[in-house]
Amino acid sequence: MSEPIRVLHILQRMEAGGTQALLMSIYRKIDRTKVQFDFLVEYPDEQFYDQEIKNLGGRIYYTNVRNDFNIPKFCKQLRQIFEENPKYRIVHVHTYSIGYFCLKTAQKAGVPVRIAHSHNNETVHDSKYAFKLIMQKLYTLHATDLFACSDEAGKYLFKNEPFQVLPNAIDSDKFIADDEVRKKIRMEFDLDDKLVIGHVGRFHPQKNHDFLIDIFSEIKKKRADAELLLVGTGPLEDEIKKKVSDIGLDECVHFLGNRKDMNRIYQAMDVFVFPSVFEGLGIVSIEAQAAGVPVVCSTGLPPETNITPIYQQLAIDDGAEKWADTVIEIAQSPMAHINLQKYVVNAGFDVNVTAKTMENYYLNKYARQ
């Protein structure tokens, strides 16, 4: 039997994030006798999905470019990978910050299919903002194909250039609302008679945890039985823990770290709150709705995420009290905690379809080279 074609995906690292969850969902579903994924990451340390990737037959190339920002060294390492693996005919880049260098190096190495993918509809306004804007403009110069997770994400990064939208699909079979699972997980966390608010996201300015704690503080004033589950890790975790402690919410805010049983964790929630400053899509909002959990999110999410009757968007400027009132109200929705899988499938977010689409795309592109 012939060897599968190998696609090299390049991104920051295989941590527990939305882009990574999408890639892993596709990776698990594609026919790996035909298409195999490998990954090049920007950090030297092992991450959340690394062992599973290796178990599925994938390779991971570690670099240190995010720490030392030594671009010549990084490009040399990438050139060496292409020289040692001439069968790489497709490179799929998910990080625009160094994407220009990745795609340029791939072109020089003779890689014919070079994909630039957009996963966000905005950029954090930090000390690196000017540099990021420059790298965004350069991102597509050596790309042959453009992908985006939503229409907004594509227009933000690619402007007037044509692109294809690839929805951040999920394995909807895993997230179907289940009363028995809900009872068990709530008992496990001692949440049986509580109003459980949930959030999933890296502790990073984009995710707006600071405002999330303000919202929960307002909810707690109105509902003494409220509890908050925070899933994720990140650079701002200690800062948020301090804020929680300073306002006296230690006993009712639970930091769960990264989890591999998110299908169960969603079942424990009464409402999913997601006040991100911006999101290319926000795959966790799709997962929550698939699990029958009402979602209250910011207008930083694109309209594609509104797929069920239990979804509400608010502006961050509406303030914590209005968010709190909306959360408490939507928790009573008669559509909550029932099987909403058909909405996910009808909206095009089921990974079985997406995986087949990408498998055929890679095979067709490879066959033409």
pLDDT tens for each residue of 76-104: 999 999 999 999 999 999 998 899 999 99
The pLDDT mean for the chain works out to: 94
Same domain, 19 and 66: yes
Q: What is the pLDDT of residue 1?
A: 46
Q: What is the mean pLDDT of residues 324-336?
A: 97
Beta bridge partners of 10: 40, 93
Beta bridge partners of 115: 92, 145
Which residue range is the domain that position 61 belongs to? Answer: 5-169+350-367
pLDDT tens for each residue of 195-210: 999 999 999 999 999 9
Nearest residue to 302 (alpha-carbon basis) of 157, 200, 152: 152
Same domain, 63 and 145: yes
Same domain, 323 and 361: no
Same domain, 239 and 208: yes
> Can you give the length of the chain in residues?
369
Same domain, 180 and 315: yes
Same domain, 48 and 162: yes
Ramachandran area for residue 232 (φ above 0: left; ψ -120 to 50: alpha; else beta): left
Q: Which of helix, strand or coil describes residue 255?
A: strand
Same domain, 44 and 162: yes
294 vs 154: CA distance, rounded Å:
27
Same domain, 115 and 181: no
How many independent structural domains does the chain possess? 2
Nearest residue to 103 (alpha-carbon basis) of 139, 53, 129: 139
The Cβ of residue 66 has, within 10 Å, a number of other Cβ atoms equal to 16
Same domain, 299 and 249: yes
Alpha helices in 272-346 (DSSP H): 283-290, 320-330, 341-346
Beta bridge partners of 8: 38, 91
Q: What CATH number should be reported for the domain holding residue 71? A: 3.40.50.2000
Same domain, 240 and 129: no
Q: What is the pLDDT of residue 124?
A: 67
| CB contact at 8 A, 12 and 43 | yes
Same domain, 315 and 334: yes
Q: What is the mean pLDDT of residues 101-117?
A: 97
Q: What is the pTM of this model?
A: 0.84
Q: What is the pLDDT of residue 266?
A: 98
Same domain, 216 and 190: yes
Instruction: Decide: residue 178, CB within 10 A, 0-12 exposed, 13-18 middle, 19+ buried.
Output: middle
